[in-house]
Amino acid sequence: MKKAFLVFVMIVLGLTTQSFAQQTDKVHKIVFHLATSDTLAHKALAKQVANVLDYWKNAQIEVVVHNNGIGFMKKNEAKTAKEIASLQARGVTFAVCENTLKQRKIDKSEILPEAVFVPVGIAELVLKQEEGWAYIKAGF
C-alpha cells in the first residue's frame, strides 16, 4: 500500500513539474492598450511590462498607444522614455496610432524613436486579439 501511494505521489509530482515547465517555455503573446494621459498609469504600464518580461523571458509584448495616451510616446512629454528604450531593447513593440497623430497634428518626428506606426490603433488591437494575443487594458 505504501509503495502504491509513493508511486502515485511521484507521478503527480512529475506531471506537476512537467506542466510548470510547459507554462514557462510557452511563448505568451500580450497586447497592452494605452489610451490615457495619466502619467501614473504610464509608469505603472512600464513596470508591469517589465515584470511580465522578468517572469516570462520570451513573452511577445506589444503596447498600442492612441488617443489620450499619445503623450506616453511623445519626446517632449514622455515621463518613462528610459523605460521605453529599455523595454524596446528587450523586444517590446510600441505601436503608435497614425490616426491619433493626424487628428492631433503631431508629426512622427515628435515621437520617440522606439515607436512603430500603425494606421489605426483600435484595428491593431483587434488584429492582435484575432491572432490569439491576450488583451490587457493599461491604467487603473
Question: Which residue ranges form the domains of the chain, and what is each CATH number?
Answer: 27-137 (3.40.1260.10)
| CA angle, 45 then 63 then 139, to 5° | 35
The terminus-to-terminus CA distance of the chain in angstroms comes to 54
Reading the block at residue 49, the C-alpha cell is 511590462
Please tell me the predicted confidence (pLDDT) of residue 1: 56
Reading the block at residue 106, the C-alpha cell is 503631431
**Best CA proximity match to 90, nearest among 49, 126, 123, 130:** 49
In this prediction the pTM is 0.83
The string of pLDDT tens digits covering residues 81-102 is 999 999 999 999 999 999 999 9
The string of pLDDT tens digits covering residues 32-71 is 999 999 999 999 999 999 999 999 999 999 999 999 999 9
CB 134 within 8 A of CB 27: no
Mean pLDDT of 123-140: 96
pLDDT at 22 over 50: no
CA atoms within 13 A on the CB side of 46: 18
